[in-house]
A and B are shown apart, each in its own frame.
Chain A
Amino acid sequence: MKSIEELKAIREKTLKEMSIRENDDKVRIVVGMATCGIAAGAKPVMSAFIDELNKRNINNVNVTMTGCIGICRLEPVAEIFDANGEKTTYVKLDAEKARRIVAEHIVNQKPVTEFTVGAAER
């Protein structure tokens, strides 16, 4: 059983880090997590986003979930809202694609065009 003491130590450490880090504009990754998304494998996709961001120590990206986006046949779907408000919709995702999106879109700020809804609908 993990102890509350451990949690308090995490708190102390985080408070110290928070004072150094500047307040960046938040980027949001929103994963479609309705029945359609989950059945198509949205959970491993969200897991890969979280893991890849943690591995790269990226803290200004918020990973969250939403219900049905309305394109069930293209699930798993994730939307990325950049700091400037631009939205990119990625479709038919898997864990590998999610990791590439973190590397190319989040880190290098170049959307992965081939995974977008625009490319899938062509």
Chain B
Amino acid sequence: MKDISLHLMDIAQNSIVAGADRISISLSVQGDPQMLIFEILDNGKGMDAEFLKKVTDPFKTSRTTRNVGLGIPLLMQSANMAGGELIIQSELGKGTKLQAKFEVKHIDRIPLGDISETIKMLIMANPNISWSIHFTSQKDNFTLDTDELKHHLDGVSIANNNVLEWIQNTITDGIKSVYGGVLDEVN
């Protein structure tokens, strides 16, 4: 996976398959040395301790569930490669929290990629899920919550093309104001 937006697309499917109806996606830059922290929090079916142990091992995954495989090992590889780590916490019946950390200035840190397009596609394909998006850095912060948008949209689908375009543009602006000058790939 060459950027974080592709990992996001991939990992978010795990939450969807786990039956989550609330998925929170957050990116933050913090600490010294500066770390980029990518987090997905869901209220899906969760995993028990034993499954959780196996989940980062591509060769021990159960093929029948189909919601695990190479996705998590690849994300772990991307994080480890950039001086970071992958942390997964999960509770059966409650949900899962996945965090991938990357050292911002590490030469092997993958870029953000087109985060706003990925989120647009996720909302488009899963309009009934409540998506909550957060970006933070020392410079600014940004939040978008699809439940709030749905309230304003009253009668118009969130999956409407014009609405999705607005969402994508809003997220792009959010990324610029939070990460412009903070991450090299954002101007």
Contact = CB atoms under 8 A, between A and B. Distances in A.
Contacts of A68: 66, 69
Contacts of A8: 152
Task: Pick the most buried of B5, B124, B156, B169: most chain A CB atoms within 10 A of its CB.
Answer: B156
B170 A2 contact: yes
Given A63-B124, A67-B17, A33 B149 contact: no
Which of A15, A33, A63 has the most chain B CB within a 10 Å cutoff?
A: A33
A25 interface: no
Given A14-B163, A63-B124, A64-B125, A35 B152 contact: no
Interface residues on B, range: 20 to 34
User: Do most interface residues of chain B lie in helix, strand or loop, or is the interface mixed?
Assistant: helix
B1 A67 contact: no
Interface residues of A, number: 29
Contacts of B10: 33-35, 38
Given A1-B177, A33-B13, A43-B9, A14 B166 contact: no
A87 interface: no
B70 A35 contact: yes
B9 A38 contact: yes
A11 B156 contact: yes
Contacts of A18: 156
Interface of B: 1, 5-6, 9-10, 13, 17, 66-67, 69-71, 74, 117-118, 121, 124-125, 149, 152-156, 160-163, 166, 169-170, 173-174, 177
